């Protein structure tokens, strides 16, 4: 496993890999790796010749200094996991390497960043757009792999890739879950056992909403019922519970025939913000 901390070094190595005719896959991460990341890595290894995993906690996508400070970090454990998975290249830049000076470029993703995560985390998608653009420019992957758990983020990245003509295929990998249904997240390690059990209600709530919608129920009534009967009894007050159509990632109040849609939720459990979703219709690939 090759490890690089500078942009010129990783670029030089990958240039030689491409010269030998090898395809490149990128798995961008912020570390604190878990089985969901492992699935991304395995998808990359199955699809490309050289898999690159980046480990970089991107400060400019955090709108809360406390959230950035508390984000879990364990580089030693991450490297051990990557070695076990036989990853080819690890790119571990520090903040000065990625941002030698203050970034003044800004992305505006229009209406798709004004709802859900964009509404509650102002500036988040600008930070995501900048770091992903830099990684795609540095690594120049044939394929880049992202988890469905961050569905809105993947939608924004797809638009970024199209608008800026990056020669990269964005691959969405289905969410990996705990046995109780909780979507795997680096933030989960900050939950107590009781908190993890409570957090599983997010997925259960989404499943309830999906079942009621597929029976022909009214979304607003289903949403109210889910909040009052599933979440509030467990002292969960969601930041949002919404239905979006996936083509434009816009809010809808009823499913549209032939149009894939998703149910999305965000809530704080033990002061830790968690998100989840279910895609209905067809998954993005």
What is the pLDDT confidence band of residue 80, given thresholds at 50, 70 and 90? very high
Looking at the chain, the whole-number percentage of residues with pLDDT higher than 90 is 94
Structural domains in the chain, CATH included, are 2-173 (3.40.50.620), 186-279 (3.30.1300.10)
Q: Is the pLDDT of residue 126 over 60?
A: yes
Please give the residue that has the higher pLDDT: either 247 or 200: 200
Question: Which strands form 250-251's sheet, in the order they lie side by side?
Answer: 250-251, 240-245, 261-269, 272-280
- Say if residue 204 carries a ligand binding annotation: no
Q: What is the pLDDT of residue 70?
A: 87
Mean pLDDT of the chain: 96
What does the alpha-carbon distance between residue 280 and residue 278 come to, in Å, rounded to a whole number?
A: 6
Q: Is the pLDDT of residue 60 over 60?
A: yes
pLDDT in tens, 17-37: 999 999 999 999 999 999 999
DSSP for 89-115 reads EEE---HHHH-SS--------GGGGSS
- Say if residue 131 carries a ligand binding annotation: no
Tokens representing 64 are: 């809360």
Q: Is the pLDDT of residue 283 over 60?
A: no
Q: Is the pLDDT of residue 285 over 90?
A: no
Mean pLDDT of 137-150: 98
Beta carbons of 191 and 269 less than 8 angstroms apart: yes
Q: What is the pLDDT of residue 256?
A: 86
- Say if residue 153 carries a ligand binding annotation: yes
- Confirm whether 12 is a catalytic residue: no
Mean pLDDT of 139-154: 97
Mean pLDDT of 226-247: 96
Q: Choose the catalytic residue: 37, 124, 137, 203.
A: 37
- Say if residue 241 carries a ligand binding annotation: no
- Say if residue 43 carries a ligand binding annotation: no
pLDDT in tens, 171-229: 999 999 999 999 999 999 999 999 999 999 999 999 999 999 999 999 999 999 999 99
Beta carbons of 234 and 261 less than 8 angstroms apart: no
Beta carbons of 257 and 249 less than 8 angstroms apart: no
Beta carbons of 246 and 258 less than 8 angstroms apart: no
- Say if residue 176 carries a ligand binding annotation: yes
Q: How many CA atoms lie within 13 Å of 79's alpha carbon, on the beta-carbon side?
A: 10
Of 203, 201, 222, the residue nearest 212 (C-alpha): 222
Is the pTM higher than 0.85? The answer reads yes
Number of H helices, E strands in the chain: 10, 10
Q: What is the pLDDT of residue 268?
A: 96
């Amino acid at each position: 496993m090759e490890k690089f901390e500078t942009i010129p070094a990783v670029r030089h190595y990958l240039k030689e890999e491409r010269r030998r005719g090898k395809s490149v896959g990128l798995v961008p991460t912020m570390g604190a790796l878990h089985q969901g990341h492992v699935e991304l890595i395995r998808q990359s290894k199955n699809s490309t010749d050289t898999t690159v995993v980046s480990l970089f906690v991107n400060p400019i996508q955090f709108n809360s200094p406390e959230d950035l400070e508390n984000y879990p970090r364990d580089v030693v454990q991450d490297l051990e996991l990557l070695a076990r998975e036989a990853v080819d290249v690890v790119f571990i830049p520090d903040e000065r390497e990625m941002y030698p000076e203050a970034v003044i470029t800004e992305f505006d993703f229009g209406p798709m960043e004004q709802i859900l995560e964009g509404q509650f985390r102002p500036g988040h998608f600008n930070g995501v757009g900048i770091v992903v653009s830099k990684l795609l420019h540095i690594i120049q992957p044939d394929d880049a792999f992202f988890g469905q758990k961050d569905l809105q983020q993947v939608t924004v990245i797809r638009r970024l890739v199209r608008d800026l003509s990056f020669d990269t295929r964005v691959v969405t990998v289905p969410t990996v879950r705990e046995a109780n249904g909780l979507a795997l997240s680096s933030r989960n390690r900050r939950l107590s056992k009781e908190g993890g059990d409570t957090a599983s209600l997010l997925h259960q709530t989404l499943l309830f909403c999906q079942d009621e919608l597929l029976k022909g129920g009214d979304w607003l009534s289903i949403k109210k019922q889910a909040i009052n009967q599933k979440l509030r009894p467990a002292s969960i007050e969601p930041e949002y519970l919404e239905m979006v159509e996936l083509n434009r990632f816009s809010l809808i109040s009823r499913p549209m025939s032939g149009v894939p849609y998703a149910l999305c939720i965000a809530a704080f459990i033990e002061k830790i913000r968690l998100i989840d979703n279910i895609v209905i219709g067809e998954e993005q690939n």
